[in-house]
Amino acid sequence: MTTVHIAGAGGYAAAEAIRLLDAHPGARIGTLMSRSGAGTRVCDAFPSLPHLTQTFDDFETALPQVAAGDVVFLAADRDVALALTPKLLAAGARVIDLADTFRLEPHAHGAVYGLSERYRDAIAGANLVANPGCYPTASLLALAPLGAFADRIASIVIDAKSGITGAGRSPKLGSLFAEVEGDVRAYGLGGHRHTPEISQELHAVGITAPMTFAPHVVPLSRGMLADIYLIPRAPLDRDAILATLRRAYASSPFVTVFDDGRAPYLPALEKTNEAHLAVFEESGIIHLLSGIDNLGKGAAGQAVQNMNIMLGLPEDQGLGAVRTVVG
């Protein structure tokens, strides 16, 4: 049984991690660190977890309780991650950072990019994993296996929509229900912070075509759908791309590739670590769809998946995986 601590435990991704870890047969929840919520019970901060009466600790009290062999999820901002990571690694803990602190090259402290399906072997030997962002996860699950088609792709358009929990739990005017209800809001246009992360991983598989990334917030609590368009330089074959995705995820417990005309349905993905992919073609343009739960596969679920890989546990332990569907 591995003890798992969470730093920055007051946010939405942390709440999802607490929910998953509470039911995980190979983990026990250790300290829950929150500067703003120190002394507050979990059940009071998160009414959806009514049976958890453990209180949040402040960082100074909690850090000495981290021991060698423990796992720490960093769900705080990058400044906290930069300050805590060297101390946690020196204590012999394994660290999974849910912020964007270590995602881009060069990776400090030997961090491994935590897209589970692509970097399983490296994650298994890592002490520090940079958990991907939700937009990059949805985008890269569809695109990363397609390196063999790189020379046929003239450009890529990623049109992605996220539930409002992706904006975090700190009160902000633009995240209020009255502000987002009834709207589809484009933001971060011309330079979103996730663009370099997606580009880095596409370049790693040889895809260097120009990319346009357009994120949107939609009036959903959670969920993410990425509509991805491959504009061809030379003909792209839908069936060949579909077959490539099916091969890439044939042994993956969480990725389903539809080939029967279905598209991802976000309510089916809520509170899961699953991803659903589909491929369509029209007028020579390939249309990929990738659906995930932004708090599940896009954050806490993938963090637990990476923890399982690091600890040598079954990849789907504690995550309620369903059978893989590839057709």
Give the chain as a 3 state SS string: CEEEEEECCCCHHHHHHHHHHHCCCCEEEEEEECCCCCCCEHHHHCCCCCCCCCECECHHHHHHHCCCCCEEEECCCHHHHHHHHHHHHHCCCEEEECCCCCCCCCCHHHCEECCCCCCHHHHHCCCEEECCCHHHHHHHHHHHHHHHHHHHEEEEEEEEEECHHHHCCCCCHHHCHHHHCCCCEECCCCCCCCHHHHHHHHHHCCCCCCEEEEEEECCCCCCEEEEEEEEECCCCCHHHHHHHHHHHCCCCCCEEECCCCCCCCHHHHCCCCCEEEEEEEECCEEEEEEEECCCHHHHHHHHHHHHHHHHCCCCCCCCCCCCCCCC
Instruction: Report pLDDT digits (tens) over 231-289.
Output: 999 999 999 999 999 999 999 999 999 999 999 999 999 999 999 999 999 999 999 99
- The segment(s) of the chain belonging to CATH 3.40.50.720 are 2-131+298-311
Nearest to 253 by CA among 223, 284, 275: 275
Q: Could you say which of 6, 7, 129, 134 is catalytic?
A: 134
Residue 323 binned pLDDT confidence (cut-offs 50, 70, 90): very low
- The segment(s) of the chain belonging to CATH 3.30.360.10 are 135-294
Instruction: Report pLDDT digits (tens) over 114-170.
Output: 999 999 999 999 999 999 999 999 999 999 999 999 999 999 999 999 987 765 555
- Asked whether the predicted pLDDT for residue 190 surpasses 80, the reply is no
CATH of the domain spanning 2-131+298-311, picked from 3.40.50.720, 3.40.190.10, 3.30.750.80, 3.30.1360.200: 3.40.50.720
- Asked whether the predicted pLDDT for residue 322 surpasses 60, the reply is no
Distance from the Cα of residue 118 to its chain's centroid: 13
- Asked whether the predicted pLDDT for residue 93 surpasses 90, the reply is yes
CA pair distance 13, 166, nearest whole angstrom: 9
Amino acid 189: pLDDT: 80
Looking at domain 135-294, its CATH class is alpha beta
43 part of the active site: no
Amino acid 38: pLDDT: 87
Amino acid 131: pLDDT: 97
